[in-house]
Amino acid sequence: MGRIRNLSPLALALSAMLPVVADAGATWTYLSLEATFRCENGTAAAGYSVYAVGDRAELGNGNTANAVRLSPSPYPTWSGKIKFSNAKPGDIVKWKCIVRNENPPYDVTSVQPAADNQVTLAFSNTLTTTGTF
- CATH at 93: 2.60.40.10
Q: 10 lies in a domain? A: no
Q: For residue 24, give every residue at least 6 positions away whose Cβ sits within 8 Å of its Cβ, in sequence order, or none.
A: none
Q: 1 lies in a domain? A: no
Q: 22 lies in a domain? A: no
Q: 8 lies in a domain? A: no
Total domains, the chain: 1
Q: 21 lies in a domain? A: no
Question: What is the model's pLDDT at position 125?
Answer: 86
Q: 116 lies in a domain? A: yes
Question: What is the model's pLDDT at position 105?
Answer: 93
Question: What is the model's pLDDT at position 11?
Answer: 46
Q: 78 lies in a domain? A: yes
Question: What is the model's pLDDT at position 98?
Answer: 98
> Which ranges of the chain have pLDDT less than 50?
1, 4, 7, 10-23
Q: 88 lies in a domain? A: yes
Question: What is the model's pLDDT at position 29?
Answer: 53
pLDDT in tens, 105-127: 999 999 999 899 999 999 988 99
Residue-number span of the structural domain to which 119 is assigned: 30-125
Q: For residue 112, give every residue at least 6 positions away whose Cβ sits within 8 Å of its Cβ, in sequence order, or none.
A: 39, 96, 97, 98, 131, 132, 133
